[in-house]
Amino acid sequence: MAFFRNYFSGYYKQGGMKELLIIALPMIISTACDGVMTFTDRLFLSRLGYEQMNAAMGGGIAAQMLMFFFVGLTGYTTALVAQYFGAKEFKNVSKSLFQGIIICCFSWPVILVLKPLVVVFFTQIGTPESQLGFQIDYLNILVWGSVLSLLRHTIGCYFIGIGKTKIVMNAAIAAMIANVFLDYLLIFGKFGIPAMGIQGAAIASISGSFVGTLVLVITYFRQENSSLKMTFASFRFDKMIMKKLLHFGYPAGLELFFNFLAFSTMVAFFHAQGDEIATASTIMFNWDLVSFLPLLGIEIAVTSIVGRYMGAQKSHVAERATYSAIKIGIFYSIFIFFLFTLIPETLVRVFSPEEFSQVFENMIPLAVNMIRLATLYVLADATMVSLIGALRGAGDTFYTMLISVISHWILVLMIFLSFYVFDFTPLTAWFLVVISFLGFSLVLYIRFKSGKWKKIKVIDSGINV
Report the C-alpha gap between 56 and 131 in whole angstroms: 9
Where residue 465 falls among pLDDT bands split at 50, 70, 90?
very low
pLDDT tens, residue by residue, 35-52: 777 777 777 877 777 677
Mean pLDDT of 15-43: 76
- Comparison of pLDDT for 315 and 182, the residue scoring more: 182
pLDDT tens, residue by residue, 283-335: 887 787 777 777 877 887 787 788 777 777 777 877 788 888 888 888 888 88
- At residue 260, the 3 state secondary structure works out as helix
- Comparison of pLDDT for 453 and 212, the residue scoring more: 212
% residues pLDDT > 90 (the chain):
3
Question: Quick check: 3 pLDDT over 50?
Answer: no
Tally the residues of the chain.
465
pLDDT of residue 11: 58
* Residues 6+ away with beta carbon under 8 Å from 323: none
Report the C-alpha gap between 44 and 208 in whole angstroms: 16
Q: Shortest CA distance to 393 belongs to which of 279, 252, 288?
A: 252
Question: Quick check: 102 pLDDT over 80?
Answer: yes
- Comparison of pLDDT for 387 and 357, the residue scoring more: 387
% residues pLDDT > 70 (the chain):
89
Give the CA dihedral 213, 215, 219, 222, nearest 10 degrees. Answer: 110
Where residue 126 falls among pLDDT bands split at 50, 70, 90?
low
Mean pLDDT of 209-216: 92
- Comparison of pLDDT for 12 and 365, the residue scoring more: 365
* Residues 6+ away with beta carbon under 8 Å from 223: 229
pLDDT of residue 15: 64
User: What rounded mean pLDDT belongs to the chain?
Assistant: 79
Burial grade of 383 (CB within 10 A; 0-12, 13-18, 19 or more): buried
Residues 243 and 463: beta-carbon distance below 8 Å = yes
Report the C-alpha gap between 61 and 455 in whole angstroms: 36
Q: Vertex 254, ends 208 and 120: CA angle to 5°?
A: 70
Where residue 226 falls among pLDDT bands split at 50, 70, 90?
low
